[in-house]
Amino acid sequence: MTKVLDPTNEATPADIPRVSRPESLDGLTVGLLDISKPRGDRFLDRIEERLVERGLRVERFRKPTFTKPAPVDLRHEIATKCDVVIEALAD
Amino acid sequence: MSVTELPVLPDGLVVIVKEDCPTCELVIPVLEQLASGNQLTVFSQDDPNFPEEIADRQFDGDLAISWHHNIETVPTLLVIENGKEIARTVGWSRSQWESITGVPQLGVELPDHRPGCGSLSVDPSMSADLELRFGGSTMKARRVEFASLEDTHEALFDRGWTDGLPVIPPSEARVMAMLEGTTRSPEEIVASIPPDLAPCTVEKVAINAVMAGCRPEYLPIVLAGVEAVCTDTFNMHGLLATTMPHAPVLIVNGPIAQQIGMNSGNNALGQGNRANSTIGRAVQLVIRNVGGGRPGEVDRAAFGSPGKVGFCFAEREEDSPWSPISTMYGFSAGTNTVLAFPGEAPRNLVDQLSRDPDSLARTYAANLISIQHPKLVLGFDAILAVAPDHSRVFREAGWSREQLADRINELTVRPGHELIRGAGDIPEGIPEAMEELDLPKFRPNGLHIVHCGGAAGLFSAIIGGWVNGEMGSDPVCVEITP
């Protein structure tokens, strides 16, 4: 992982902005991100079933802990493999 | 171990060595002498098995001991009492080693003294990393992380931080090393950078200087350049926003130019010299990244110019017939200065036949008249860069810079009726009200004659200026401070 110092005036967020929401999920790869809260996986399992029934490709991801932001490598992997991502919060 | 914690040394005698040092090798018999009868600990910086002869040797592989205890030379001999250093000596000196250890007859077969070698902890290739690791970072800029699988250079392009060319990734270690180039505090505000008028610290300038490819010793010039262009007089906002192609042209005077290896000779206005190429680029990256000045946004240039990547060169002072251009701005020769001029791309001017100053002045005037438009006068300044093959003519004739400028201006004078709107069937021109006046091309001090270029070539070059005065920009010259 490379870490650099921001050369800008830091008036805008350092993160790259989200892509806009697609009109339809047809033909897209959907990422399902489990943030590691208990039973979030159960919820995502069900979402996965529903998406697969619709013929969509699904990729599963899991954050090491819900208490911290997703590691930059995980974010990059999701952004590279998926068109959209669904993040599940459960308790 | 916390990075800023001072590691405590064992009581007794402590010697820091490295295997790659002949003096350390030389003192091994002395270390053996000291080991019998004294509490001796030897720390090796590079080889954990060095010196094999000493049982109680420890490895300072991460250089934490050396860095925290300010070891600059190996061997260094320390005397530690109750965890505190009470004496130290560096290199090998029998009298000093005997004196602080209290052990007589040390290394009698050795020469009396031998200087030591540089400690690895002050090796220039490592010192910035160690400063970061053990000293803790004091830098304020936001940290941005790229993923391991992300190409760093592509990530820097993606974020819009480059001018279209690759940049050096501004890691903390590189920025820290860059900041060594100035005595100024990283937190000091250098200027408000247009168009966003964002306050810019020395640290932010250093980050962009790293990206541009500068070496630390260039940083004072970059800082002075940023200061010069961000004055109300220079009007960087207007220069950025204009539809005209101009941008800051930085001319460096004073001994610093040679000290850092700037080019004022062959190809001075071109590529190939790191300082020339990166100093102007660093100033432009500050405007882009800190100021938010980007082409197509506030930068509305219709054409732009190659010089907008960065345009910086040094005046050829050593054989110039004239005093440095900075003297036009009240500085004495020998002062380190940077002159910011709002200029466009240079164009060459050929006169291979003139051998007297007046005919050369005529060639210059005939060409200079055409800057922006032959019928537009007084509104644009210019740099006239004179190469040695031309400047020799003026030196031999004893023509001063002022004399040459006055003669050129005299030769450019044209009657108003040739310049007014509609004259010569060209609508462009000066207002009709000026019809009765005889007008020169340049305002007083508008023509900046500088000496630069390679020793061969009967040429000079013109760099046309942007709109001058209140409506546009005036050149600004500032002193370069450490």
CB contact under 8 A, B207 and A5: yes
Intervals of CATH 3.40.30.10 along chain B: 12-135
* Sign of the torsion angle spanned by Cα atoms A58, A63, A68, A69: negative
Residues of B in contact with A75 (CB under 8 A): 147
**CA–CA dist B458, B352 (Å, integer):** 5
Which CATH number is associated with domain B12-135? Answer: 3.40.30.10
Contacts of A61 in chain B (CB under 8 A): none
β-bridge pairing A84-88 and A29-34: parallel
Tokens at B155, concatenated:
């990530």
Cα–Cα distance, A2 to B148 (Å, whole number)? 7
Chain A interface disruption, residue of B145, B151, B157, B175, most A CBs within 10 A: B145
Does A53 fall in a domain?
yes
Contact B23, B29 (CB under 8 A): no
- Residue A71 falls inside a structural domain: yes
Taking the alpha carbons at both ends of chain B, their separation in whole angstroms is 36
Q: Total domain count for chain A?
A: 1
At position A58, the amino acid (one-letter code) is V
- DSSP for B117-180? EE-GGG-HHHHHHHHHHHH-----SPEEEE-TTS-HHHHHHHTT-SSSS------HHHHHHHHT
Contacts of B175 in chain A (CB under 8 A): 5
Mutual angle of helices B172-179 and B202-212, in 10-degree steps: 110
The strand pairing partners of B251, in sequence order, are B313, B339
Rounded to 5°, angle at Cα B110 from B109 and B112 = 120
Q: B430 has which bridge partners? A: B420
Inter-chain CB proximity B149 and A77 less than 8 Å: yes
Residue A77 falls inside a structural domain: yes
> How far is it, in rounded angstroms, from Cα B280 to Cα B251?
10
Q: pLDDT 10s per residue in chain B (482 long)?
A: 345 677 889 999 999 999 999 999 999 999 999 998 889 999 999 999 999 999 889 999 999 999 999 999 999 999 999 999 999 999 999 999 999 999 999 999 999 999 999 999 988 778 778 877 887 777 899 999 898 888 999 999 999 999 999 999 999 999 999 999 999 999 999 999 999 999 999 999 999 999 999 999 999 999 999 999 999 999 999 999 999 999 999 999 999 999 999 999 999 999 999 999 999 999 999 999 999 999 999 999 999 999 999 999 999 999 999 999 999 999 999 999 999 999 999 999 999 999 999 999 999 999 999 999 999 999 999 999 999 999 999 999 999 999 999 999 999 999 999 999 999 999 999 999 999 999 999 999 999 999 999 999 999 999 999 999 988 999 999 999 99
pTM (2 decimals)?
0.78
Q: Which of A5, A9, A73 sits opposite B290 (nearest CB)?
A: A9
The secondary structure of residue B446, as a DSSP letter, is -
The token duo for B66 is 């050396």
Chain B residues touching A6 at Cβ < 8 A: 141-144, 207
- Report CA-CA distances (Å) from B94 to B51, B102, B178, B303, B327: 20, 11, 40, 72, 57
Out of A8, A16, A73, closest to residue B148 by CB: A73
B145, B172, B199 member nearest A72 (Cβ): B145
pLDDT of residue B3: 54
Closest in B141, B152, B199 to A6, CB measured: B141
Query: Does residue A23 lie within any of the structural domains?
Result: no
Distance, in Å, from the CA atom of B105 to the CA atom of B122, rounded to the nearest integer, reads 32
Tokens, residue B113: 């003294």
Please give the C-alpha separations between residue B130 and each of B3, B16, B42, B235, in angstroms, as whole numbers.
10, 17, 21, 41
Gap from B69 CA to chain A (nearest CA, Å): 29
> How many CB contacts within 8 angstroms connect chain A with chain B?
89
Q: How far apart are CA B217 and CA B182, in angstroms?
A: 8
CA distance B465 to chain A (A): 29
Residues of chain A neighbouring B172 (CB-CB closer than 8 A): 3, 5
The pLDDT value given to residue A91: 66
Domain that holds residue A72: 29-88
Q: Does the residue A83 lie in any domain?
A: yes
